[in-house]
Amino acid sequence: MSAFDGNVSFLNGYLADISTAGQCYIPVPDNCEGEIIEIRSALGGAIGTADATLTPKIGGTAVTNGAITVTQSGSAAGDVDVSRPTGARTVAAGDAIEIETDGASSNTVEVFFTVAILR
């Protein structure tokens, strides 16, 4: 997939603290409906204690093979993790993509997301 492919839209999201159970919602605008083909996360710092799991959902349903495990051991600012969903990944304009953290890690650390949607 090329960053300049006109058939791919990129949506971004953010959580202020990967180590506190919660979620963010990324709205899907008009002309961005399609299939989620990739989700990337980037840490704002090191997490501790345990790995954190990020689970993407659409309408409350988990995206198949979309979860990202952010490894605590050796984590640092700028660490990038990737998932490539295989099912339950279709989004329509007006949907919201939920990214949920289990909050299993420690340290208050930001995490950023980019969701690639093939239109």
pLDDT tens across 28-82, in order? 999 999 999 999 999 999 999 999 999 999 999 999 999 999 999 999 999 999 9
30's CB contacts (< 8 A; 6+ apart) are 93
For the entire predicted model, the pTM comes to 0.93
**Given this model, what pLDDT does residue 2 score?**
54
Domains and CATH numbers, the chain: 8-118 (2.60.120.260)
Q: What is the spatial distance between Cα 88 and Cα 39, in angstroms, rounded to a whole number?
A: 14
Examine the pLDDT at 3 and tell me if it is beyond 90.
no
Is residue 103 within 8 Å of 70, Cβ to Cβ?
Answer: no
